[in-house]
Structures are given as C-alpha cells and as structure tokens.
Amino acid sequence: MTDTHVDVLLIGGGVAAASAAAELRRRGFDGSMALATRELDPPYHRPPITKQLLGPDAEAYDLAVHPADWWADNDVRLHTRSAVLSLDTAAHTATLANGTVLRYGRALLATGAMVRRLPAGSLSGGIHYLRVPANAHKLRAEAKDADRAVLVGGSFLATEVAASLAALGTRVTMVMPERAPLAEAFGAGVGDHLAGLLAARDVELLCGEQVAGFTGNGRVDGVGLVSGRRLPADLVVVGIGAVPDTKLAAKAGLRIGPTGGIACDETLRTSEPDVFAAGDVCEYHSVVHGRRLRVEHEHHAAAQGATAARGLLGDPTPHREIPYFWTDLADWARLEYVGPAVDWDAERVTGSLAAGRFTVWYLRQGRLVAALTSGRPSDLATARDLIASRRTDLDAALATT
Ligand SMILES: Cc1cc2nc3c(=O)[nH]c(=O)nc-3n(C[C@H](O)[C@H](O)[C@H](O)COP(=O)(O)OP(=O)(O)OC[C@H]3O[C@@H](n4cnc5c(N)ncnc54)[C@H](O)[C@@H]3O)c2cc1C
C-alpha cells in the first residue's frame, strides 16, 4: 500500500512514546515524525485505571498524556488502531495492520507490557484484567451489582483495586501466595503494614493461598483454591503481573535480554543501531546501578522516552534516572519508592510502620539500592543521592533522616 517516509517512527501508544515525541520537538527536531499504536486513543496514562477510574468521578477523568490538538500542533502524524505487524530493520520499513508501509530513518520501540493471564476454560464473564480504560469501566459497572469480589494476587495492582472496590462498598477477598501484599518485593514489615490497612477496611486476606481454577457456567461464580477451599465470587480481578510485549521486536530479530525485555545498551539503543527502546519493554544497562534493569513504572517509562529521544538525535548520554514509583490505596495511603527493590540483603526502618509514617531503606552489600516511604516524601531525595553516590557509610547518612 502507501509507502511513506518518516524520519522518526515511534511504535507504541504509551507514555514512553508520547514522552519521546515531546522531547524530540522540545530539542528542536524538525524532521517528520509518526506514532503508530494499536489502541483506539492517542497515548494516555494507565495509573488512574486502578484508582480514579474505579472511583465516583470516573467518567469525567481525563487520561490523555498530551491535549488532543498537541499532535497536530507538533506535526506528529498519529496512526491509532494501527498495530505494527512487522519491522524490517535492514530495509528500514514498518508494516501496519491496514497494509500501510512506513519507511523510517530511526525507530523507537515502546510496545509496553501485556497482562499475565490465568486459564479460565470456557468462562467468558466476570473475570477482569486491567490494562486499558474500558477494562476499568466494565469492572466498575459490574461492581455496582456485585456482592463479593475476589482479587487474585498480592501485587500493587491487586492491592490498589482491592482498596478501590472496598471504597465502592464491595466485599473483597484477596488471595495470594505471599505472607502479605507486596511482602515479596518490599519485605515483611511493609507487607504487614499494608495487610493491616486493608484489614481495617474489611478486606479479607487469604495469604499463602493459590488459585487452582474458577467455577461457573459461562460466568464465574467462584474461585477454587489449591488448599481445597472454594470462594463464592460475583466477580474476579486478576493482578498477577505483566510481561514485556516483545512480539514485534523478537520477530524483527532484535536481541531479547535475560529479564525478557528488549536488550538495550546504556543509551537505550537496541541490537539494531537505528532502533531504540523505552518503557516497560526495555531492558537496559544501568550505569547508576551497575547492572541490567527492566522496570514497569510510569515515571520511568516517560524518563526513558526522553532519553531515547536524545539517542535518536545522536546524543550518546546514558540513561541515569533512578526509577521512581508511587501507589495510592484509595485515599487511605500513598506509598512512593525509588530504586528497584530487588536483590536487597538488609533493610532499615526510620519512622514508625505502626503510625504509617516510615521509610524502609533497602541495602545490598552495605549500599543503598532502594527506599520506600509513606508520609516522609523528603526521604526520597536522600535515597536518590545515596543510590547514585553508592556510598557505604550509610549509618552516618541515615542518622540525619
Ligand atoms: C492498571 C495499571 C495501573 C498502573 N499503576 C501505576 C502506578 O500507580 N504507578 C506507576 O508508576 N505505574 C503504574 N502502572 C505502570 C505504568 O502504567 C507503565 O509502567 C507504563 O504505562 C509503561 O508505559 P509504556 O509506554 O512503556 O507502555 P504501555 O503503557 O504499555 O504502552 C505500550 C503501547 O504500545 C502499544 N503496542 C504494543 N505493541 C504494538 C504494536 N505492535 N504496534 C502498535 N502498538 C503497539 C500498546 O497497545 C500500548 O498502547 C500501572 C499499569 C497498569 C496497567
């Protein structure tokens, strides 16, 4: 079909691609640019899907990353409902689902992640996964008539949805293999704190339990557990993580890294010199952490989009941003953290977990690798400095917090 040339092609419709587009124009890039996404809408923010979109003002909430006219004003050609089916890195072409072939000078792969699913047999109704706004609208509509909801998983997403549904008045049970929500990622102290918050709002927690399968006739009516127990359910929400969407990259022959993301160097360049990657799909060598990382947080995806944009323009500066994440549990609690809290071997707590104002500092071999805080946001700046400086005299540094 049509054979159009663009200097830069952005593939994917999330914050990473949107941020790259903005950074390119901000830096004065005046070449041609197109963004191709398989979504119905231009890039939007996903975090409200588990929060505001399940709340009372859901319909009025605006998720767009850029205002509607930003794209035309900045001369970025938008191809919505246009999955890129294949990428030929030798010919520098991308083929869209409608058959359009785009020739590109350089490309960014920002294809994000896909939800991890559980087998549901022939059941077609009542089992929810949250990735796009329509998923939240459907869940909210069903929650109005639901008496009991079962949340599968002890992830951020499951915990946020449990809080949001409980705030809507639904009876919620969470099922997870961990001893408490997020205990595996952030330790028993944080896990027990969150369990306490949820229990105080009448969320039932079944920890150390796993789902064996679902029951129902067409629509789910219960959840069977490995322990033999059966939980009645009017609806189920599964929040057991996401996997990087590397289908297009793998088909194009790009190298995939050990974390399952597209393998990139420290500037976010892939194994193909004219193709960069950013966001949830990108595994990169972090010069700050001295190892390979893949992170699934919105702020990080936006920051990587900006780094990749600079790379597309030939700037070889490495990506140095320390990953940042926040989570809101209805309006009861806000947790923020910096650094990926993986591979830590010791933790320290300042403040009081019981009072809900605390910071947990995660250490590996005497160095700070991450920190999670509730109610002490100024500790985040300290944590960023300590992670970046790789200091080992943490006793002195933490004594002043
Ligand atoms: C429900 C939910 C709640 C979240 N809450 C938080 C939170 O509170 N805080 C936080 O920091 N992070 C949160 N996250 C994570 C955050 O949203 C992601 O880290 C962020 O969206 C990643 O952006 P991205 O641009 O890399 O990918 P995505 O947002 O996944 O966007 C990728 C896009 O690429 C498109 N695409 C994929 N393949 C193709 C193709 N072949 N052709 C064309 N288009 C393609 C996809 O359809 C999608 O639009 C949440 C995520 C979800 C799902």
Q: Could you please report the per-residue DSSP string of 70-95? A: HHHHTTEEEETT--EEEEETTTTEEE
**Of all protein residues, whose CA lies closest to atom 38 belonging to ligand 1?**
111
Task: Round to whole Å and give the CA distance between 386 and 348.
Answer: 14
Task: Tell how far the Cα of 46 is from the centroid of ligand 1, in angstroms.
Answer: 6
Task: Tell how far the Cα of 339 is from the centroid of ligand 1, in angstroms.
Answer: 19
- Count CB neighbours of 385 within 10 A: 13
When pLDDT is averaged across residues 48-61 and rounded to a whole number, the result is 90
pLDDT for 302 equals 98
Structure tokens at 58: 């859901």
Cβ contact 285:264 at 8 Å = yes
Q: Residue 20: enclosing H or E segment and its boundaries?
A: helix 15-26
DSSP 338: E
pLDDT for 59 equals 83
Q: Is the pLDDT of residue 115 over 70?
A: yes
Q: Which residue from 197, 198, 164 is spatially nearest to 61, judged by alpha carbons?
A: 164
User: Which protein residues touch ligand 1 with a CB less than 6 Å away?
Assistant: 11-17, 36-39, 46-47, 49-50, 83-84, 110-113, 130-131, 157, 245, 248, 279-280, 296-299, 301, 325-327
Task: Round to whole Å and give the CA distance between 37 and 17.
Answer: 9
Q: 117-240 with 343-399: one CATH topology?
A: no
206, amino acid identity:
L
- Domain 117-240 CATH assignment equals 3.50.50.60: yes
Cβ contact 123:219 at 8 Å = yes
Task: Tell how far the Cα of 390 is from the centroid of ligand 1, in angstroms.
Answer: 30
Task: Round to whole Å and give the CA distance between 191 and 194.
Answer: 5
Report the chain's mean pLDDT, rounded to a whole number.
94
pLDDT for 223 equals 97
**Of all protein residues, whose CA lies closest to atom 4 belonging to ligand 1?**
47
In the CATH hierarchy, which fold is given to the domain comprising 343-399?
A: Enolase-like; domain 1 (3.30.390)
pLDDT for 340 equals 82
Task: Tell how far the Cα of 281 is from the centroid of ligand 1, in angstroms.
Answer: 9
CATH top-level class of 3-114+243-312: alpha beta
Structure tokens at 301: 């995806």
Which carries the bigger pLDDT value, residue 277 or residue 184?
277
- Count CB neighbours of 40 within 10 A: 11
Domain boundaries, the chain: 3-114+243-312, 117-240, 343-399
pLDDT band at residue 173 under the 50/70/90 scheme: very high
* 343 three-class SS: coil
Which carries the bigger pLDDT value, residue 75 or residue 56?
75
pLDDT for 2 equals 60
Angle, helix 15-26 to helix 298-312, in steps of 10 degrees:
40
Q: Is the pLDDT of residue 1 over 70?
A: no
